[in-house]
Copies of this chain bind each other. A is one copy, B any other.
Amino acid sequence: MSATAGRTPSAPASGGRRVAGVLAPVLTPFHPDLSVDPERLVRHCRWLLANGCAALAPFGTTSEANSLSVEERERLLDALVGAGIDPARLVPGTGCCALPDTVRLTAHAVRRGCAGVLVLPPFYYKGVSDDGLFRSFAELVERVGDDRLRVYLYHIPPVAQVGISPGLVDRLLAAYPRAIAGMKDSSGDLANTRTMLDRFATRGFDVFVGSERFLLDGMRAGGAGCITATANVNSAAIARLFRGWRTPEAEKLQEEANGIRAAVERVAIVPGLKAIVAHHAGDPGWRTVRPPLVELPAERREALLADLAGRGFGMPGLGG
């Protein structure tokens, strides 16, 4: 356990109110022609916020965000805010390969009043230097040029291949202590999460684990919560774990959440989550994914749903 255990992530050094708790990287629903569906997105976001999510991280990996154009992302964010979803509970993903795209999406999110942005490093070139990544984020902060900007660095080496090192965080925090707000650590490596917390949590840097599997360990080490794909379907249970992490029930809540996670991880996670939402919403159209992802074959889908049913899993109120 680190020296920072027990700090309150929602009261950081920089003063502004910060997000903490369970965030869902919201699934993106598509029409049959693969166009985005703002109405179903709004409905799902409302359900998530009413069922345990402290905030939402639309346009993450689980959201197929990199399969969306910049215009589609802007339009969907406008639809969310326009529908009355509080932007103080939104941390949209805005990191693209191209700096102008990242700047444009980030500036748009800041203008809409979002609590922060979750920013992938540019991920096309591999083996790039920390100098180059520092410059990417520095250009982002300088070009957006807005005191309200709060950047959460998105570390997901299994997918992006390009990661965020402690040395890079150190340099960014030194240069932009107000704008660099934290990280989503989807490395799947708790040792990395602990390193980030031990080195940077006292500097107002909030670390979210990228899977609820690490939520209890992360909170004990001083973490701020989790941003996790499975929150799209299991937000209430994960939020109970977040709220109860200091209680005697914590281990049991963690185990229960792990069981659902394991069931989902047995299939491709984005099509799997969409199949679950489709089933519980009574809306098969929710299963649609954009290429290069593909829908689950019917037999895998049915096996997943049966597995979850056997665990007493449900999504009450989703189909309403």
Contacts and interface: CB of A to CB of B under 8 A. Distances in A.
Contact of A125 (B121, B136, B292): B292
Interface in A115-137: 121-126, 128-129, 131-133, 135-136
A303 interface: no
A293 interface: yes
Contacts of A292: 121-122, 125, 128-129, 132-133, 135-136, 162
Interface stretch (A96-104, A220-228, A234-242, A245-253): A96-104
A144 to B, nearest CB: 15
A159 B70 contact: no
B100 A72 contact: yes
Q: How many copies does the complex hold?
A: 2
A67 B136 CA distance: 11
Interface of A: 34, 61, 66-70, 72, 97-101, 104, 121-126, 128-129, 131-133, 135-136, 139, 158-162, 290-294
A291 B126 contact: no
A291 B100 contact: no
Contacts of A135: 291-292, 294
B159 A126 contact: yes
20 contacts: A61-B125, A66-B97, A66-B98, A66-B122, A66-B124, A67-B98, A69-B100, A69-B101, A69-B104, A72-B98, A72-B100, A99-B291, A122-B291, A124-B160, A126-B158, A128-B293, A132-B291, A133-B291, A136-B291, A162-B292
Contacts of A69: 70, 98, 100-101, 104
Contacts of A99: 34, 67, 290-291
Nearest to A271: B132
A67 B124 contact: yes
A64 to B, nearest CB: 8
Given A61-B124, A66-B125, 12 more contacts: A34-B99, A61-B125, A67-B124, A99-B290, A121-B292, A122-B291, A128-B293, A129-B292, A132-B291, A132-B293, A132-B294, A136-B291
